[in-house]
Amino acid sequence: MRQPLKLTFKDLTKKSLNDWYAGTHWSKRKKIKDIYKLIIKSQCREILTGKFIVDWLFTFEKNPLDASNCVAMLKMIEDIIFEKDDYKHMEIGKIKSVKGNKDEIKLTIYKIEKDL
């Protein structure tokens, strides 16, 4: 296995899974997804192809979400930076949420040379 790729994303709207599916109108969800796409593409210009294991670290300055509530943000990011995110190409490693000095999302991406 090669050295992992490390990415950090900043300036993304904090969105909990509870909020995402608590009756939020599809047009509002689309607007958030479009904002994520714009910000993420400005911070990461390449689309990753292949098979990966990804560890996720969510840091929040105020009111950290629990790790499972970060999945809405995880999914939006995953859809933008990975060419394929099906079970044959992606495995989620650790998901951790902590209180920190700023809001950011750090990914540690391990490219897998063999089948998962």
Question: To the nearest 5 percent, what fractions of the chain are helix, strand and coil?
Answer: 30, 30, 35
DSSP state of 63: S
- pTM of the entire predicted model: 0.91
CATH topology of domain 5-112: 60s Ribosomal Protein L30; Chain: A; (3.30.1330)
For position 19, what pLDDT does the model report?
87
Residue 115 banded pLDDT, cuts 50, 70, 90: low
**pLDDT mean over 17-38:** 90
Per-residue pLDDT averaged across 85-97, rounded?
95
CA distance linking residue 27 with residue 12, whole number of Å: 18
